[in-house]
Chain A
Amino acid sequence: MYKLLLCWRYLRTRWIALASVISVTLGVATMIVVNAVMAGFAHEMQTRIHGILSDIVFESHSLSGFQDPNWHMEEIKRSGGNLIEGMTPMVAVPAMLNFQVRGQWVTRQVMFIGIDEATHARVSDFGRYLQHPLNRQQLSFGLREGGYDTVDSQADAPGSTRPALEGAGWPYRRMRVERERLWRERLESQSDTTPAGAGAAESPSQPTRSVNDQVEAVLSATAAPEAAVAPPLDESTPAATKKDPFRTARPEEGRVMDLAQEQFTGVVPGIGLASFRDNTGVDRFLVLPGDDVKITFPTAGTPPKAVSDTFTVVDFYESKMSEYDSNFVFVPIDQLQRMRGMIDPQTGIPSVNSIQIKVTPGTNLNELRDRLRKAFPAELYLISSWRDKQGPLLMAVDMEMAVLNILLFLIIAVAGFGILAIFFMIVVEKTRDIGILKSLGASSSGIAGIFLGYGLFLGLVGAGAGLALGLAITLNINTIRAAVEWCTGQRVFDPSIYYFFKIPTIVNPLTISWIIAGAVGIAVLASVLPALRAARLHPVEALRHD
């Protein structure tokens, strides 16, 4: 009984010992915060990786792919049974994306991915990452009549970060086409009436104003394009274009396309290919929905030949995984199959080079993967889960977390030595009390128990305070970040680097209990040596101690 009471009294009267557990508190708090943030990042990353990759990916080794995706899907369904929730065919080829920025051609190396508009969104979270609200509901490769988000739909922070997307879509396209036409006309008129040396100084200001006026006029007239813009060449095509842009995506030979009212095949590039973020967090775009780009890709034959075509950007894809956002360009699968020559001219059966599989929730991915691997020859098909695909990355994050945890735990271990030193001092200070207790009949183990119990108490207090502090910081980390930014004027968490507007956190109770147990364990371990010393004190010498 005296042990408990004495522990309690020592706890209340020895503030210096409490000071020694502040390091435990800080260590525990840091570990909780770091683990929560790391877990948040890891989760966010996994979600994004998983957002583009379906649960299981079924691929061919060759770029030409395998024929008849429907037959394959039937077979997969047969081996997977009801574990499979959905499937979608996909064609992915390396390609080159070219677009013009202020007269200069910019080239990007990309992965050109043909997806099935109807089924793709059902298999992955693809749709969630698009910039047009309607596309997020149901993807369409047709250019939209404006309405693109000027606010990052995945960020909680209000405020426009993409002012450039205002007016993107058809209005922007019409304006651009009209401006190009006017400049061309102006150039032609200038070359006709060769400007005199005197008029050269005046000429830039005059036409510019007239161009701007005309662009304004075009913009104001966009509601009724038929009436305002130059008369259409063919009476029937504009209406058809509106309904189904793909039918006219490749105009017949010799026919001149009206770029103001028609689009090429729609593509959805990753946002990182078309924009960059400046350090105020505003995205600057090189290409907007409505612009045309050229893409060069290999055909399906042997050897593959490079073909180029023109496409119209209809939306952007933003998973916030820069690896994807600056690498992927999506296109309707049937168009890509046709352009690459993947459709058998006799039977009309297309080829694809991968099938994305979504499994029912709770399915063991590895088990299903292995079952499929058994059913399909490994020489022809590569079957992997999304975790396999990003294995090294996920492993790296796990490794990073493990190393961080070890380092932070060492901080608590260092705190343990502080406790050890202070406990030794307390034992020396309490030598006479130890003698008294022994003279009253307390056993050596009882005396050791006092100090072990004291260590346990201190560990609990320190870890408890650390838990409270850690949770408080974790739950308010974004407020704290904002406060630090406000105080220092420095961006702590630069959105141009991280692409997150707030720091993601996940508090895992199991991790926390391990941290607490570890910290308390260290406090108890640190008190073992002082406790043994106290227990071994000779009562007579202890009583004589001043």
Chain B
Amino acid sequence: MTDIGPGNASGVPPLLSVRQLRKSYRSGSGVLEVLRGVDFDLNHSGFVAVVGQSGSGKSTLLHLMGLLDEPDAGEVHIAGIRVDNLPAVRRDKLRNTDIGMVFQSYHLLPEFNALENVLAPLMVRYSVYEWMRMKKVAHSQARALLERFGLGQRLHHKPRQLSGGEMQRVAIARALISQPRVLLADEPTGNLDEASGTGILDTLCELNRQDGLSIVLVTHDASIARRADRIVRLVAGHVEIL
């Protein structure tokens, strides 16, 4: 069930590819096999939706691609380089620079305001000294991103003072601040009403079309998945291409 994309045909390695990925969790006495050999490619500037029922392993796949978890077997490649077996420090760095993640429940830091939340990946990256030197540039970048998403008036609001849609847009801005190669979105509209959800989807599509951002969108909603270039269905731990 290998997905041979156009990238492979032209000889350029796909931006993100997973090979024979397996992951199981111990649940009680038994072992729950979530992924049973998943193969999957994402090309440069691609927009792939991963759909499947609850518990089909969509989020697990996303976490493995985002290097938040380690597979039991199989490989994850970014731009042709295997990354799943790198030392933890290297993976942390890759997560910081090359991968942007957006979650269903936004996952903003409650102690930080919108601007600081967007700046968080840069704060993680730089030491205090470096930060002091870069602060101005970083601030203007973050401000520009938030303004682009219509949050120019909400820069100094704490997450609890923002609506769900606003929070998700802050989260997207945060994912983009470090100019990642790929954006991994895990049910980004799951907690939102339809209008806000559509707004978020529009934003993602726009990012994909205009900026050429590669996106993997995980959702259980077929109507949302249709906005993507390609849809991948996870069934019983395997990939079905639609």
- Residues of A in contact with B (beta carbons under 8 Å apart): 1-2, 4-6, 9-10, 13, 432-433, 435-444, 446, 538-540, 543
A-B contact pairs, 10 of them (CB 8 A): A1-B127, A1-B128, A9-B111, A432-B107, A435-B107, A438-B95, A439-B68, A439-B101, A440-B174, A540-B69
Per DSSP, are chain B's interface residues mostly helix, strand or loop, or mixed? helix
Q: Is the CB of A433 within 8 A of B68?
A: no
Cβ contacts under 8 Å, A435 to chain B: 107
Q: A5-B112, A439-B68, A540-B63 are in contact. List 5 more A-B contacts (CB 8 A).
A: A441-B92, A441-B94, A441-B96, A442-B92, A442-B96
Give the distance in Å from the alpha carbon of A439 to the alpha carbon of B120 in the complex: 11
Q: Is the CB of B111 within 8 A of A6?
A: yes
Q: Report if B137 contacts A (CB, 8 A).
A: no
Q: Is the CB of B88 within 8 A of A2?
A: no
Shortest B121–chain A CB gap in Å is 5
Q: Report if B56 contacts A (CB, 8 A).
A: no
Q: Is the CB of A13 within 8 A of B111?
A: yes
Q: Is the CB of A1 within 8 A of B121?
A: no
Q: Is the CB of B128 within 8 A of A433?
A: no
Q: Is the CB of A543 within 8 A of B103?
A: yes
Cβ contacts under 8 Å, B126 to chain A: 1
Q: Is the CB of A441 within 8 A of B125?
A: yes
Cβ contacts under 8 Å, A433 to chain B: 109-111
Give the distance in Å from the alpha carbon of A2 to the alpha carbon of B124 in the complex: 6
Cβ contacts under 8 Å, A1 to chain B: 123-124, 126-128, 130-131
Give the distance in Å from the alpha carbon of A369 to the alpha carbon of B2 in the complex: 95
Per DSSP, are chain A's interface residues mostly helix, strand or loop, or mixed? helix
| CB closest chain-B residue, reference A10 | B111
Q: Is the CB of A543 within 8 A of B107?
A: yes
- With contacts A9-B111, A10-B111, A540-B68 taken as known, whether A440 is within 8 angstroms of B116 at the C-beta atoms is no
Cβ contacts under 8 Å, B63 to chain A: 539-540
| CB closest chain-B residue, reference A443 | B92
Q: Is the CB of B123 within 8 A of A5?
A: yes
Q: Is the CB of A439 within 8 A of B107?
A: yes
Give the distance in Å from the alpha carbon of A13 to the alpha carbon of B112 in the complex: 11
Q: How many A-B residue pairs have CB under 8 A?
A: 73
Q: Report if B219 contacts A (CB, 8 A).
A: no
Q: Report if B189 contacts A (CB, 8 A).
A: no
Shortest B78–chain A CB gap in Å is 14
Which residue, B66, B93, B124, has most C-beta atoms of chain A within 10 A? B124
| CB closest chain-A residue, reference B93 | A441
Cβ contacts under 8 Å, B116 to chain A: 5
Which residue, B96, B111, B112, B126, has most C-beta atoms of chain A within 10 A? B111
Q: Which of B69, B109, B120, B130 contacts A539 (CB 8 A)?
A: B69
- With contacts A441-B92, A441-B93, A442-B92 taken as known, whether A2 is within 8 angstroms of B110 at the C-beta atoms is no
Shortest A537–chain B CB gap in Å is 12
Q: Report if B97 contacts A (CB, 8 A).
A: yes
* Complex A-B, nearest 6 residue pairs according to Cβ-Cβ distance, in ascending order: A441-B96, A9-B111, A2-B123, A1-B131, A1-B123, A441-B95
Cβ contacts under 8 Å, A2 to chain B: 120, 123-124
- Residues of B in contact with A (beta carbons under 8 Å apart): 63, 66, 68-69, 88-89, 92-97, 101, 103, 107-112, 116, 120-121, 123-128, 130-131, 174
Shortest A465–chain B CB gap in Å is 23
Cβ contacts under 8 Å, B101 to chain A: 439
| CB closest chain-A residue, reference B69 | A540
Q: Is the CB of A436 within 8 A of B68?
A: no
Give the distance in Å from the alpha carbon of A539 to the alpha carbon of B59 in the complex: 13
Cβ contacts under 8 Å, A441 to chain B: 92-97, 121, 124-125
Q: Is the CB of B124 within 8 A of A446?
A: yes
Shortest A60–chain B CB gap in Å is 72
Q: Is the CB of A4 within 8 A of B107?
A: no
Q: Is the CB of A440 within 8 A of B88?
A: no
Q: Is the CB of B131 within 8 A of A439?
A: no
Shortest B80–chain A CB gap in Å is 21
Q: Is the CB of B68 within 8 A of A440?
A: no
Q: Is the CB of B68 within 8 A of A539?
A: yes
Shortest A99–chain B CB gap in Å is 79
Give the distance in Å from the alpha carbon of A540 to the alpha carbon of B125 in the complex: 20
Give the distance in Å from the alpha carbon of A1 to the alpha carbon of B110 in the complex: 17
Q: Is the CB of B121 within 8 A of A440?
A: yes
Give the distance in Å from the alpha carbon of A13 to the alpha carbon of B160 in the complex: 15
Cβ contacts under 8 Å, B110 to chain A: 433
Give the distance in Å from the alpha carbon of A543 to the alpha carbon of B109 in the complex: 12
| CB closest chain-A residue, reference B131 | A1
Q: Which of A6, A9, A440, A538 contacts B95 (CB 8 A)?
A: A440
Cβ contacts under 8 Å, B112 to chain A: 5, 9
Cβ contacts under 8 Å, A10 to chain B: 111
- With contacts A9-B111, A9-B112 taken as known, whether A438 is within 8 angstroms of B68 at the C-beta atoms is yes
Cβ contacts under 8 Å, A543 to chain B: 68, 103, 107
Cβ contacts under 8 Å, A6 to chain B: 109, 111
Give the distance in Å from the alpha carbon of A441 to the alpha carbon of B63 in the complex: 13
Shortest A110–chain B CB gap in Å is 72
Cβ contacts under 8 Å, B97 to chain A: 441
| CB closest chain-A residue, reference B108 | A436
| CB closest chain-A residue, reference B175 | A440
Cβ contacts under 8 Å, A538 to chain B: 69
Q: Which of A4, A13, A440, A446 contacts B120 (CB 8 A)?
A: A440
Give the distance in Å from the alpha carbon of A249 to the alpha carbon of B156 in the complex: 96
Cβ contacts under 8 Å, A4 to chain B: 128
Give the distance in Å from the alpha carbon of A413 to the alpha carbon of B196 in the complex: 53
Cβ contacts under 8 Å, B103 to chain A: 439, 543
Shortest A542–chain B CB gap in Å is 9
Cβ contacts under 8 Å, B111 to chain A: 6, 9-10, 13, 433
Give the distance in Å from the alpha carbon of A543 to the alpha carbon of B103 in the complex: 9
Give the distance in Å from the alpha carbon of A441 to the alpha carbon of B94 in the complex: 7
Q: Is the CB of B69 within 8 A of A440?
A: no
Give the distance in Å from the alpha carbon of A439 to the alpha carbon of B131 in the complex: 20
- With contacts A10-B111, A13-B111 taken as known, whether A443 is within 8 angstroms of B123 at the C-beta atoms is no
Q: Is the CB of B95 within 8 A of A439?
A: yes
Give the distance in Å from the alpha carbon of A373 to the alpha carbon of B107 in the complex: 80
Shortest B47–chain A CB gap in Å is 21
- With contacts A5-B116, A441-B95, A539-B68 taken as known, whether A436 is within 8 angstroms of B109 at the C-beta atoms is yes
Give the distance in Å from the alpha carbon of A56 to the alpha carbon of B44 in the complex: 92
Shortest B99–chain A CB gap in Å is 8
Give the distance in Å from the alpha carbon of A535 to the alpha carbon of B207 in the complex: 34
Q: Is the CB of A436 within 8 A of B107?
A: yes
| CB closest chain-B residue, reference A442 | B124
Which residue, B97, B107, B131, has most C-beta atoms of chain A within 10 A? B107
Give the distance in Å from the alpha carbon of A5 to the alpha carbon of B119 in the complex: 12
Shortest A5–chain B CB gap in Å is 7
| CB closest chain-A residue, reference B134 | A1
Give the distance in Å from the alpha carbon of A4 to the alpha carbon of B127 in the complex: 10
Cβ contacts under 8 Å, B109 to chain A: 6, 433, 436-437
Give the distance in Å from the alpha carbon of A5 to the alpha carbon of B128 in the complex: 10
Give the distance in Å from the alpha carbon of A10 to the alpha carbon of B109 in the complex: 12
